[in-house]
Amino acid sequence: MLITAMEHHSNIVPWQILCEEKRAHLKVTPINDRGEVRLDAFAKLLGPRTKIVAVTHVSNALGTVNPIRRMIELAHAVNVPVLVDGAQAVPHLSVDVRALDCDFYAFSGHKVYGPTGIGVLYGKAALLESMPPYQTGGEMISSVTFEKTMYNKLPFKFEAGTPDIAGAIGLHAALEYLNGLGMNNVTAHEHDLLDYATEAVAAIRGVRLIGTANQRAGVLSFVLEGVHPHDIGTILDQEGIAVRTGHHCAQPVMDRFGIPATARASFALYNTKDEVDTLARGIRKVKEVFA
């Protein structure tokens, strides 16, 4: 199994558990100092014993947009299926799973302004047909006798029990809202904000940006010399500025950059340049407090 060094814990821990159960091995593709996956190393790690590649589309801790299509091409060249964690990509980018040719793609409802506790798993039909159900209950069966159970057709085979009907309706509404805005418009707005914020925050003496890939989306992670990120977050909160601080469920990423945590500003379709200016002023206030 092959992942990258920038994965969220949710794309690490399940594979570690599976490795323990199946006596498999987890291999990790390194990233460079900008927070970009090293494609040369990725290609070398692929081989006849690789069973699956699991990779994030966009890093939640760095904002890096991975070259997913090229990674899928490299994996498919040696007949390895690819699962893409799209939780951080779908809110920011236009995603076409058929164009990517990924084998599986997953994202969470709450990341696209929908309800919590629901998400989407896309999979190629041939692969889903070959897989057994992972849970049992109503809807996932077509017939049951004491001798044999016949499973339902896709997608019902993997939808045991009463579905989250309310969540599905809410998620549909959220996706319709985003589609109505136009994902290209959302991407352009957020890209403009991120460029503006990168310039404004990087200009502050003592700030170190964590994750400076050429292709980024959604987030700006940084540390401030001599100040713990938790203290940054506390003071910014007092100024009415919401950021997240900590390891962002990506501890290996923090280890890669030799830091315990970062402060992370997240940008979305509703943010403005005025808010970016407020963030920059807030960081300067943090500096004054710890001067």
Shared domain for 21 and 112, answered yes or no, is yes
- Interatomic CA distance for residues 83 and 15, integer angstroms: 12
Whether 37 shows a pLDDT value over 90: the answer reads: yes
In a domain, 115, yes or no: yes
249 catalytic per annotation: yes
In a domain, 142, yes or no: no
* Residue 126: domain span: 2-135+163-181
Shared domain for 122 and 209, answered yes or no, is no
In a domain, 156, yes or no: no
Q: Give the contacts of 142 (CB within 8 A, at least 6 positions apart).
A: 150, 151, 152, 153
Token pair, residue 187, equals 């991407």
Work out the average pLDDT over 252-270.
97
Residue 254 is predicted with a pLDDT of 98
Shared domain for 67 and 175, answered yes or no, is yes
Nearest alpha-carbon partner for 109 in 122, 99, 119: 119
Shared domain for 173 and 247, answered yes or no, is no
Shared domain for 187 and 121, answered yes or no, is no
In a domain, 41, yes or no: yes
- Interatomic CA distance for residues 265 and 61, integer angstroms: 10
Work out the average pLDDT over 136-157.
94
Work out the average pLDDT over 227-251.
97
Of the chain, the percentage scoring pLDDT greater than 70 comes to 100
Instruction: Kindly name the residue from 24, 52, 249, 269 that is annotated as catalytic.
Output: 249
User: What pLDDT, in 10s, does the model give residues 170-200?
Assistant: 999 999 999 999 999 999 999 999 999 999 9
Shared domain for 175 and 264, answered yes or no, is no
Q: What rounded mean pLDDT belongs to the chain? A: 97
- Interatomic CA distance for residues 183 and 189, integer angstroms: 10
Shared domain for 115 and 215, answered yes or no, is no
84 forms bridges with which residues in the sheet? 55, 105
Whether 121 shows a pLDDT value over 90: the answer reads: yes
CATH of the domain at 253: 3.90.1150.10
Shared domain for 50 and 106, answered yes or no, is yes
Work out the average pLDDT over 95-113.
97
- Interatomic CA distance for residues 93 and 268, integer angstroms: 11
Shared domain for 23 and 125, answered yes or no, is yes
Shared domain for 50 and 176, answered yes or no, is yes
Shared domain for 237 and 172, answered yes or no, is no
Residue 291 is predicted with a pLDDT of 85
